[in-house]
Amino acid sequence: MKKNIGSKLALYSMPITVIGAMNGDKPTWTLVGHLGIIGHDRVMVSLAAPHFINGKIKETKKLSINLVDENLLPQADFVGFASGNKTDKSQAFSYEIGEAGAPVISNSPLTLECSVADIYETLNFESYICTIDNTYVDTQHLGADGKINYNTLKPVLFEFPTYQYLKTGDVIGKCLTFKNDIVST
């Protein structure tokens, strides 16, 4: 039996990321869990309008989306607490400048470097619709076939209702093979 608990933001768990943008010649970083995939060529990053990083993204039209693994979690949690409005967060991670000009966290297992194509505004929020310029993957997670190995790349997940971090689990099957059980019955 299921119970209707009303209109809830309940679509979790989802990967946690650190968004990076350049603030002059320094980076700034913000922890973000609310992001998504739009079609096959756009991603979306949802940011509260008062956040410091928003102005920097609007200035440069570039941002990076850095997946967080367990090693990176302490610094990632810090940039989800401190705001660039009061604290200089530029030293939180070692980084390089990506080919498109966004800051790329050196120790993140996977980084998307993005250009802002549009901003979708809702009450108190700005959702940045982005195209993907470059994808940087730690080679330990890259197979000989050039594909990312999600058996080894384990992003930290989060959920908003009780504000917790979670681990990803094991592979439980290949997509589109379960249908065979249904089709054959």
Ligand X SMILES: Cc1cc2nc3c(=O)[nH]c(=O)nc-3n(C[C@H](O)[C@H](O)[C@H](O)COP(=O)(O)O)c2cc1C
Residues across the chain: 185
Binding residue for ligand X, selected from 52, 93, 95, 128, defined by CB under 6 A: 52
Q: Does 90 bind ligand X (CB under 6 A)?
A: no
Q: Does 47 bind ligand X (CB under 6 A)?
A: yes
Q: What is the side-by-side order of every strand in the sheet holding 14-15? A: 14-15, 157-159, 164-166
Binding residue for ligand X, selected from 14, 38, 73, 82, defined by CB under 6 A: 82
Binding residue for ligand X, selected from 20, 27, 84, 109, defined by CB under 6 A: 84
Cα(159)–Cα(136) distance, rounded to whole angstroms? 26
Question: Residue 13 CB, nearest distance to ligand X (Å)?
Answer: 11
Nearer to ligand X, 27 or 80 (CB): 80
Sequence-ordered list of residues with C-beta below 8 angstroms from that of 179, at least 6 positions apart, any chain: none
Binding residue for ligand X, selected from 22, 43, 53, 112, defined by CB under 6 A: 53
Q: Does 46 bind ligand X (CB under 6 A)?
A: yes
Binding residue for ligand X, selected from 20, 66, 72, 80, defined by CB under 6 A: 80
Choose the binding region for ligand X from 32-40, 57-65, 103-111, 114-122 (rule: CB under 6 A).
32-40
Binding residue for ligand X, selected from 31, 57, 63, 68, defined by CB under 6 A: 31
Q: Does 33 bind ligand X (CB under 6 A)?
A: yes
Question: Residue 22 CB, nearest distance to ligand X (Å)?
Answer: 13
Residues that bind ligand X (CB under 6 A): 16, 28, 30-34, 46-48, 51-53, 80-85, 158
